[in-house]
Structure formats: C-alpha cells, structure tokens
Amino acid sequence: MTQTFGARSTTEDVLSGVSLKGKRVLVTGVSAGLGVETARALAAHGAQVVGAARNLTKAKHATKQVRADAERGGGTFELIALDLADLTSVRACADQLNATGLPFDLVIANAGVMATPFSHTKDGFETQFGTNHLGHFVLVNQIAGLMRPGARLVNVSSAGHRFADVDLKDPNFEHTPYDPFIAYGRSKTANILFAVAFDARHRTRGVRATAVHPGGIMTELPRYMQAGAIEAMVAGINEQAAAEGKPPFQFKTIPQGAATSVWAGVVAEADAVGGHYSEDCHVSPVIPDDQPLSLVSEGVRAYAVDPVHAEALWAKSEEMVGETFS
C-alpha cells in the first residue's frame, strides 16, 4: 500500500526506507535553502548527487552537511559551476556534464530568483524569465541525452504561477509596465509549461517531467523584497483564509519544503506525476482560468498545464535562445 504524505511531511519522511544507491542526480541551486536540503536528503540515501551553483565558494560552505550525510549514507556529492543568467555558463555546464557521458536518473531544476528589480540577464532577457525558465530550458535540453529511461525532470515552480500567465508577445517587458510579482508569476508558469512539453517529448522513451510547488518557506529567495512585504503578504493570505473558513498560513521548514521535489522525483508513480503539477506531496487539481485568484486554495491554473500553450512557449523559448531542441 502506497503511503500518503502531506504538507508537513519532510524529506526524511518521504524517503524512509528508500535506497538510492546507484542513482545519479543533478540538483541546481545548491548554495542555499531548498537546493541544499534536496541534495542532502538524496545523497544521504545513497544517491550520487551533482550540485550546480553560480557561486561555488558559497556552495562549498553551504553543503558541508551534504558531504557528511553522503559519506554516512553511501552517496556522493560534487559541485559544478552554473550561472543560469548567462547562457555561456549554462552551455559550458552542459558540455562538462555531457563530456563525462555519465547518465542521470533525476534532474531537479531548483534554482531561481524571485521579485527582482527590473533587470536583464547577460543575454538580455528579463531576469526572472531568463534565469528561472530560459537558463533551465537550455541546460535540461542540452543534457536530455544523459537522462536514461526511467529518469525524471522535476521543475520547482510555485503557487506564484497564479500571478500571471506567460506573455509570449512581450516576455522581456519591453511594452508592458514591469511588476516584480507578475514577472515572477510568468517565470513560474513557464516552469510548469516546460515540464508539460518536455514530458510530451520524452515519455515514449520512459523519461518523465513534472513541476512542483514547495510551499511557503523562509529561505534566501525573498531577499529582493522590501522590508515588511512578506508580513503584508501573509496578512493578506490569512484574511482570505479566514473568509474561506480555513486555518492561518504556516510557513514550512526547509525539509518540509524540499519534500515535494523528492517525492515527485523518486517516490511518486511516474504516470501519476508526469506532465502534472504537485504540491504537499500530491498531484494538484486544475483551477479554471476564470476562477478568482487565491493563494489559499490548492491547485494549478489551467493555462499552466495546457499542452498547446506549452508547445507555444517551447517554440518561443527556442527562438529566444537561438537553439532548436528535438
């Protein structure tokens, strides 16, 4: 009988009794927060984990416990340089991984930024869309050949995808007033749509893709937000929760936040999560696009899992990065 997990389940809960010996995993964003815990949990259960980070000095310091737990659990951990805001770095990382010829059983696209001031990546893309989506789009597609049958891609998205659908006519806010959370919402919707399209392309060879919302966690991610912004957001969520007769919002711990990525990557049935969006260690219901915005209720917006929309984003992403992926 399959065990049921939920919002308060931790990485150790979902991996209880699971051996990952012989499994090879790539996790991006291992210099803080969810990325560190995700890598630690997987390595502690025997996986060979490659952690990607922009700042290797910071990542080396942040992952001391990862190495210690890997040694105790029979896993391994190594670092590789990756700056998702620079496609030259992204392609260099992919080249380095491809040169080894070593296959992956799981890729967790975890790294990202949130609510940044208006700015651009090195390649001229709006920072959040360029970093959260396009950087991973190029990296994952370039190493797709290393993902062996049975492998999975887990894109870490967010309930923030409900703030906005992607805008394929103006992805860089050249004609639209910039709003940090609209930009974040676009990038998180793109994470889900990318998983939908990748899953459609690779499922026939046994490779699946999914997207997850980790929940609300206090990490470095909100570092660009103004003082008091998080408190104001939580107050708004609680007001909405009270109106709907629901309990107040509770932040998750980092091990609770990383649990859904781990669950979707190695515990859940592939057919259950492939091409879908999950939160709190279960697949989420689809919310009609005309339903009022809510950050209280569970669910994924219909626009974020629309396969036709996913194909349109794929084509636009190829056009933007100047590369075609079969």
* Digit-coded pLDDT (tens) for 90-143: 999 999 999 999 999 999 999 999 999 999 999 999 999 999 999 999 999 999
CA distance 75 to 166: 39
Q: What is the DSSP string of 287-318?
A: EPTTSPP-SSS--EEGGGS-HHHHHHHHHHHH
Q: Which residues pair with 153 in a beta bridge?
A: 107, 209
Enter the pTM of the model. Answer: 0.93
Q: Let me know if domain 11-316 sits in CATH 3.40.50.720.
A: yes
CA distance 88 to 93: 9
Domain boundaries, the chain: 11-316
CA 43 to chain centre: 19
What is the structure's pLDDT at 223?
64
Alpha-carbon distances of 307 from 98, 232, 236, rounded to whole Å? 29, 35, 32
Would you place residue 298 in the very low, low, confident or very high pLDDT band (cuts 50, 70, 90)?
Answer: confident
Residue 277 known to be catalytic: no
CA distance 257 to 220: 13
CA distance 75 to 67: 9
Residue 156 scores a pLDDT above 90: yes
| Residue from 178, 184, 224, 277 carrying the catalytic annotation | 184
Strands 76-81 and 147-156: unpaired
